[in-house]
Chains A and B, each alone.
Chain A
Amino acid sequence: MLQMLDIGKRFGAVTALKNASLSLMPGEIRALLGANGSGKSTLVKILGGMVKLDSGNILLDGKPLLIQSPRDSRQNAIAVAYQDLSLVPQLSVADNIMLGREPRGRAGLVESARVRQGALELLNRLQVEVDPDALVSELDTATQSLVEVAKALAWEPRMLVLDEVTASLHHDQVQRLFALLRGMRQSGLAILFVSHRFDEVFSLCDTATVLRGGETMSAVSISQVDYSDLIHAMTGKWPEKIRAAQLESKLPKKRDIVLSLSNLHVQNKVKRVSLKVHSGEIVGLGGLQGQGQAETLRAIFGAVSFSEGDMVFGGAPVKFRSPGDAVRQGIGFISGDREREGVLPVRSVTENLFLAKMALKGFFSTINSHWLFTGAKETIRQLKIVAEGPDSPANSLSGGNQQKLVVGRWLMVKPRLLLLDDPTKGVDINARREIHQLLRQMAEHGTTIIISSSDNEELLDIADRILVFYEGKVVAELCNDQKTEAQLVSAMLGVNRTSGGGDD
């Protein structure tokens, strides 16, 4: 049905795509895979009309198709759900879903009742329980992603492109979405599915196209490959057996307590959370999205105030009034929300790297620019950040490299405690592994790490100990042999408290 042939695209000096090809049949679910910077997003944006291609052809039903704008793409029944969302925060859920194709009645007026009804139908199909009159800015990110999918479906597309929409969804939400997608493929919907989660790709997709360096490396049938084949196609290397090696080296050493919380209470979100963290330990916070993990981290960091409870850091009781206080005491914070809480997009790589270090100095302290430059170069080399140079702006980097910038920022100041909130959201498997290695190195040098993640695999992989949150409380602590996926999932679904359990 759809064919993209030898697509090329350059942004200035950077070649994003060369000879990328892709085909999609009705009823097919194809995965689009590739490391960060491999050109996945660019290809998706070309399909969505956000970016114009430089060379190559797109054929729809055998006829050449010219996509000049998102309008062209939508009119040819291609709908894209973007990773960074195409929602307007200030409009209601219903208005967003029907934006651009409002049902109109007499004299061309928008019929708001039908807007609401149409939106409600789509939301019901996706099984999202959300008030269609609520503003999108009021929703949590998982719900926003689902609304984005509903919005794409509103166009009744023949081809649906899902660009990492599952990144912020949780297990049960993903399963529901997949059930719906499998149903829709029966009626001939073609789906292009972009994800970093291999388990999702293997459970949903029929075929996969792998991009590396802007080129299509392989187009395969999922049933004929395994994880390592795909990783090989993505990276050109066979995956090492990192995990096995790392399990042996972990010896539980009891060291001094760096942070202890007792009965921490944050309004409506966190209820009587107590925890103790030792130096050099990596503690994972697990659970469904929005069960209080994010607020706990932010309360420690002083970004959210807690109403009750005590916090002892480095032996002294503390209560930070602002993140600045926390940073001066040696606490670092890395957010998964790069755009809002991470990078300064238009500033240079160097400035981004030195941001935390600078914050420790006064407003008028002197800065040696040569020292900055060499320091930045050194860090770029050390973290294997792919950038044109220390002067290029942070937004010219791919998502995974931007996140490495933020990790590098804290690596420089060597904090005693590093807090991470879902740091590898939307980061590819290679960059994720590198970030994990950096975190392990930091832990070995005595930095204590608390990491929350929506990805179970990541938590099991990196954390020495996992605290599972459910409705603002810590319901389970998993360490050593209890640290299994089954234990984690059952704890995060709160199985021991509700009789029903998950639906899958």
Chain B
Amino acid sequence: MRLWRLLRSAPALPGYLLLTGAIIINILVQGPDFFSMDNFNSIFSVNAPLIMAAIAQTVVVLTGEIDLSIGSNMTLVNTIAILLANQYHWPVGGSWLTALLAGTLVGVLNGLIVAYLRIPSLLATFSTMSVVSGLALWVLPKPGGTVPSEVYSAYGGYLVGLPTTVWIIATVVALWAIISKYPIGKYIRAVGGRERSAYASGIRIERVKLFAHTFSGFVTGLAGLCLTALMASGDPKIGLPFGLNSIAAVILGGTILSGGWGGIGGSIAGALFLGLVSNIVFFLFNNFAGLIPGIGNVSSFYQQLLSNLIVIFGLASAVFTPRKKNGIGLPKTREGMTKDAV
């Protein structure tokens, strides 16, 4: 009973449930191969960029804002890292750090516009999205460039028995866990939960929003670097799908878009769910579609159709599960002191 209560009040519940479902189906369609370490490694290294983007998005969404520029910010990071290392022959470390800094600065810019100019984040980040993708196109007009093989093999390899990407994700999660222990962690949720109340409590809303966007920019930078290591080249369109997918992952993870309720655990589960869905559909078509005549030659179209249908189903269930009639979380069950009043 207590466990059930705890689970029900956990915002990430829909994310975890969906992920569990996806894992079970994946095992069914893929067979025992699923349980190999190499399979886990490939799942994590392919999906690490989206997981990081989802974490970045979550922090902003928790303050009640949204960041549409995450995808183009990742592109910018990718193009800068590739350009500096390939064309200007900077050391990989230096060029990647510069790219990370650029990603963080985009976050700072978003934060300044949203917090101090008080432009709604939907508009503000929509415009930075265009500006930043223009910038990326200016940095690297056409796809190209390479990444040293040590980098991408390290990215796809293992570190002390676990996939490297798991370590990267764990580091970011730990960082966020520490931040959550500081007052700012509470303030982020308070601002998203009810901005007026947070303000009336003496919290400096602007700083909280600036911090959230800056942190989000930094994690987006990391996401861009992961993407660069994964793709091992530069492309001015590389980050395109991540903008909306990061929002989808956040919703799948049970975080409420109006802010104040949710967490990065759910978003990671949501991102993995998105990754597993394409996995499932791939294996489904690979292993079983051949049995249906006439479907083989158009399969990539159907694959996409099917995975998007599954995602819609996931989004719908994530949106409807945690919400009770009265708003957030559990139904109103507690009486406070009125019951024992007499």
Can you list 10 pairs linking A and B with CB atoms under 8 Å apart? A86-B196, A86-B197, A88-B193, A90-B260, A101-B202, A102-B186, A135-B329, A138-B330, A138-B334, A288-B342
Q: In the complex, A265→B123 CA distance in Å?
A: 49
Q: How far is the CB of B256 from chain A (nearest CB, A)?
A: 8
B291 an interface residue at 8 Å Cβ cutoff?
no
Chain A interface (Cβ < 8 Å from any Cβ of B): 48, 50, 69-71, 73-75, 80, 82, 85-91, 95, 99-102, 104, 108-110, 127-131, 134-135, 137-140, 142-143, 146, 151, 170, 172-173, 288-290, 493-494, 498, 500-502
Contacts of A498 in B (CB 8 A): 342
Q: In the complex, A69→B201 CA distance in Å?
A: 10
Size bin of chain B's contact surface: 35 or more
Q: Is the CB of A131 within 8 A of B341?
A: no
B33 an interface residue at 8 Å Cβ cutoff?
no
Contacts of B192 in A (CB 8 A): 90
Q: In the complex, A131→B330 CA distance in Å?
A: 14
Contacts of B196 in A (CB 8 A): 86
Q: Which residue of B lies closest to A136 (CB)?
A: B193
Q: In the complex, A502→B341 CA distance in Å?
A: 8
Q: Is the CB of A494 within 8 A of B342?
A: yes
Contacts of A151 in B (CB 8 A): 201
Q: In the complex, A87→B327 CA distance in Å?
A: 15
Q: Is the CB of A90 within 8 A of B183?
A: no
Contacts of B193 in A (CB 8 A): 88-91
Q: Is the CB of B186 within 8 A of A130?
A: no
Answer whether A146 and B201 are a contact pair too, CB < 8 Å, given A135-B9, A135-B330, A502-B342: no
Which listed residue (A85, A100, A288, A289) contacts B202, Cβ 8 A?
A100
Which listed residue (A108, A143, A173, A501) contacts B182, Cβ 8 A?
A108
B340 an interface residue at 8 Å Cβ cutoff?
yes
Contacts of B203 in A (CB 8 A): 71, 99-100
Q: In the complex, A75→B192 CA distance in Å?
A: 24
Q: Is the CB of B260 within 8 A of A140?
A: no
Q: In the complex, A143→B340 CA distance in Å?
A: 12
Contacts of A90 in B (CB 8 A): 189, 192-194, 260-261, 328-329
Q: How far is the CB of B197 from chain A (nearest CB, A)?
A: 4
Q: Which residue of B lies closest to A143 (CB)?
A: B336
Q: Which 9 A-B pairs have the closest CB atoms?
A: A143-B336, A88-B193, A86-B200, A90-B193, A90-B260, A71-B202, A100-B201, A86-B197, A74-B202
Within 8 A of A (CB), among B178-215: 181-183, 185-186, 189-190, 192-194, 196-204
Within 8 A of A (CB), among B219-278: 260-261
Pick from B182, B337, B340 the residue with the most CB of A within 10 Å. Answer: B337
Q: Is the CB of B332 within 8 A of A140?
A: yes
Contacts of A80 in B (CB 8 A): 200
Contacts of A104 in B (CB 8 A): 183
Q: How far is the CB of B38 from chain A (nearest CB, A)?
A: 39
B326 an interface residue at 8 Å Cβ cutoff?
yes
Q: Is the CB of B186 within 8 A of A99?
A: yes
Contacts of B201 in A (CB 8 A): 70, 74, 86, 99-100, 151
